[in-house]
């Protein structure tokens, strides 16, 4: 299998890089390798930084699969829901550094992290599902409901409104917008700061804070995959 996810352990954090050489589509290969990288990160017990390739964080689910319909779509969307749930519950802080566009499942992934950075400029971030003919999966709706500013929730989900990085901070996709040359510097600085937390206390507290979202997410996932035609 061609590597599309790289893992590197640094002194105070673990770095996971998504790079399929194209749009960083959330494919079966990316999900499998991202899960494996998260396994490695969990084993070392450090803060995690997840980033993308230049210009692309992720363009969302692999459209070559989504266009097929049927069981493959359900399998891919289920895998995306599982990875979102895993990151939301990850035992150490997760920092995401969006290197460019983050759309659809890429936008959902941003909302699962503990701290999110993006690049100021012309990059687009958001949930464009309804603009490309896909009903928003219920699990994505629940994550957006919990993580987006209420004033931007329906605009983002129902109307596929896309933001630049500064707008994405206001909407709730990002915590910080930086110049392109500062992205990884800031991501590492945040990761190193978060490495000073007591990780058990962080995990316990995050599980309490996110318990309502995780319950809603579990129910949403059950409905998504019971209602096959609704995806």
Domain range list for the chain: 5-230
pLDDT in tens, 219-228: 999 998 887 6
- For 208-223, what is the mean pLDDT? 96
Q: Tell me: pLDDT of 161 over 50.
A: yes
Please state, in angstroms and rounded to a whole number, the distance separating the CA atoms of residues 201 and 231.
37
Q: Tell me: pLDDT of 151 over 80.
A: yes
Q: Where are the extended beta strands (E) located within 19-161? A: 47-51, 55-58, 94-98, 100-103, 115-119, 125-126
- For 170-185, what is the mean pLDDT? 97
Exposed/middle/buried for 128, CB within 10 Å: 0-12, 13-18, 19+?
buried
Residue 70: what pLDDT?
85
Q: Tell me: pLDDT of 231 over 70.
A: no
Mean pLDDT of the chain: 96
Is pTM, for the whole model, over 0.75?
yes
Residue 1: what pLDDT?
76
User: With bands split at pLDDT 50, 70 and 90, how would you rate the model's confidence at 230?
Assistant: low
pLDDT in tens, 72-82: 999 999 999 99
Q: Which residues 6+ apart lie within 8 Å of 174 measured at CB?
A: 98, 110, 116, 117, 118, 125, 165, 168
Residue 69: what pLDDT?
78
- For 203-218, what is the mean pLDDT? 98
Residue 72: what pLDDT?
92
Residue 67: what pLDDT?
83
Q: Tell me: pLDDT of 60 over 50.
A: yes
Residue 229: what pLDDT?
46
Tell which CATH architecture fits domain 5-230: Alpha-Beta Complex (3.90)
- For 189-212, what is the mean pLDDT? 98
- CA angle (80, 27, 18) in 5-degree steps: 90
């Amino acid at each position: 299998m061609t590597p599309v996810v790289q893992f590197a352990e640094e002194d105070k954090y673990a770095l996971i890089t998504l790079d399929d050489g194209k749009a960083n589509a959330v494919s079966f290969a990316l999900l499998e390798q991202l899960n494996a990288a998260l396994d490695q990160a969990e084993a070392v017990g450090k803060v995690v930084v997840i980033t993308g390739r230049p210009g692309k964080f992720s363009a969302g689910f692999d459209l070559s699969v989504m266009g097929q319909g049927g069981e493959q779509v359900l399998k891919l969307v289920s895998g995306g829901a599982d990875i979102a749930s895993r990151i939301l519950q990850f035992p150490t802080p997760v920092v995401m550094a969006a290197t460019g566009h983050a759309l659809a499942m890429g936008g959902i992934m941003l909302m699962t992290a503990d701290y999110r950075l993006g690049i100021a400029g012309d990059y687009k971030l958001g949930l464009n599902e309804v603009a490309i003919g896909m009903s928003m999966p219920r699990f994505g709706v629940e994550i957006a409901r919990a993580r987006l500013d209420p004033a931007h929730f329906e605009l983002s989900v129902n109307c596929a409104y896309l933001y630049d990085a500064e707008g994405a901070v206001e909407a709730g996709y990002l915590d910080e917008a930086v110049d392109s040359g500062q992205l990884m510097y800031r991501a590492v600085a945040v990761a190193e700061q978060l490495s000073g937390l007591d990780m058990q206390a962080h995990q316990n507290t995050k599980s309490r804070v996110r318990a309502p979202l995780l319950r809603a997410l579990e129910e949403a996932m059950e409905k998504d995959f019971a209602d096959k035609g609704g995806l």
